[in-house]
Structure 1
Amino acid sequence: MKRHTLTLISLFVATILSAQLKSDPQAIAVIDNASSKINKATYYTSIKMSVKEPENNKITEQNMDLRLAGNKFYIKSKDMEIFFNGTTQWVYFPELNEVTITNPTTKELQEISPMAIVKNYKNRYKVIFEQELNTPKQHAIALIPNDKSEDVFRVRIFINKSTNEISKIESAYRNGQRITLNIGSYKTISSGTDTFSFNTKKYPNISVNDLR
């Protein structure tokens, strides 16, 4: 996923607003409740990702499967599978029979897992309600980075009021790129310890790039 941003006017307005705003404790509580739910069980959901490029406004879409358990996750798309067991990440490309192994930073995780930002937002973002986008059925919350050098200048999180489930995440980048994740309903599933880890022994002749 590449990353970019908006027009100078939008950026100027967003910068001024983020300097003036303070985090809303009630908005923080809503995000914490959503994060807490993820920690209580293992969930499966589907994600539809839309990426709008700034150069030509072209929109590309991709469907993914996501399994979550606390800070662990497994993502499967058409081209790759990503495993994260809480410490180590494996990115596997089936067509190449190749896997890259890393111990990602918190920031790197937020670029990969749509839920990582919900779990690691404190101290990095101002958190406020977007009142004009709130509805009787969902909360709309904006995360605005404290660090103006961040590639992303705003993240919007939409949370179902009755289920405390995240239904959509919108990220706006400083180069004009927009990424929208539409998240399906959550299903509780059982999972073994190997759900979030990758076993290279199961893949004969696999090419391993260990960058830890």
Structure 2
Amino acid sequence: MKTNMIKMAVMALFTIHCSLFTATAQTAKSVLDKAAASITVKEGVKANFRMSGTHGMTNGSIAIKGKKFYATTPQATIWFDGKTQWTYMKNNDEVNISTPTEAQLQAINPYNFINLYKKGYNYTLNKSGKDYVVHLTAATADKKIKELFISVSKTTYQPTQVKMLQGKKWTIFDITNLKKQAISDSQFRFNSKDFPQAEVIDLR
């Protein structure tokens, strides 16, 4: 009799644990869904950012429209039209053309989590001051990005920080002044006429 009662108690605790884990995962995902929705408006969005990590610190601005983005910092300007990426290095007047992977895009574009989080990651949800903080961990070992912490405003559901782990290195993006703005598709493609002296290197 006691054995049956113990088994029932264990099963009840296990059921409660599973239910709480599922509820937390769903809530974490719903926060990310709302954050993704806040930056996937048809017209486009712009924001400022500060990036810090093992390679130092820089700041700049970014424009996003769907999977397309345009980012500029004191060191470089990057265009991505959804398939091809152009990176202009200001110190040597050079443009590299490439077809980046999802992991490479994430390292450049903090908003790429809107495509990343939906598959292959587990979620937990915490709170920190005015933000929700969603902790994502890779469900499989093949993921280039092992962990992410995404901070999302409790009131606007706009992302305020993305912190990611690639290998053993953390990179942090702090995001400010996010706003909707109509952006032409031409802004996401490199125009050689604007950089007539630049050396173009095709790495595809």
Give TM-score scaled by structure 2 length.
0.80
* Equivalent residue runs for 1:156-167 within 5 Å: 156-167=149-160
Other-structure match for 1:16: none
Match 1:205 to one of 193, 197, 202: 197
Cα distance in 1 for partners of 2:60, 2:178 equals 14
Deviations 1:66-91 (A, max 9, x none): 11112111111111001011111110
Structure 1 173/197 Cα, relative in aligned 2: closer, same or farther at 3 Å? closer
Indicate the SS of the match to 2:177: coil
Cα distance in 2 for partners of 1:47, 1:27 equals 24
Cα distance in 2 for partners of 1:166, 1:120 equals 15
1:97 Cα deviation after fit: 1.8
Indicate the SS of the match to 2:110: coil
CA contact 2:103–2:145 (8 Å) conserved in 1:
no
1:48 Cα deviation after fit: 1.1
Name structure 1 gaps, 5 residues minimum: 1-20, 54-58
Cα distance in 1 for partners of 2:52, 2:197 equals 34
Match 2:112 to one of 98, 105, 116: 116
Name structure 2 gaps, 5 residues minimum: 1-20
2:38 aligned with 1:37: yes
Greater share of residues in helix:
2
Cα distance in 2 for partners of 1:170, 1:73 equals 19
Deviations 1:147-180 (A, max 9, x none): 23545432100000111100011123442x3222
1:45 Cα deviation after fit: 1.0
Other-structure match for 1:47: 49
Count of aligned pairs between the two proteins: 182
Cα distance in 1 for partners of 2:50, 2:144 equals 22
2:187 aligned with 1:186: no
Q: Which has the higher contact order (CA 8 A, sep 6+)?
A: 1
Determine which structure has more spread, i.e. the larger CA radius of gyration: 2
Indicate the SS of the match to 1:104: coil
Cα distance in 2 for partners of 1:88, 1:185 equals 27
Identity %: 26
Cα distance in 1 for partners of 2:196, 2:171 equals 36
CA RMSD of aligned residues (A): 2.1
Other-structure match for 1:105: 101
Aligned AA (2:101):
T
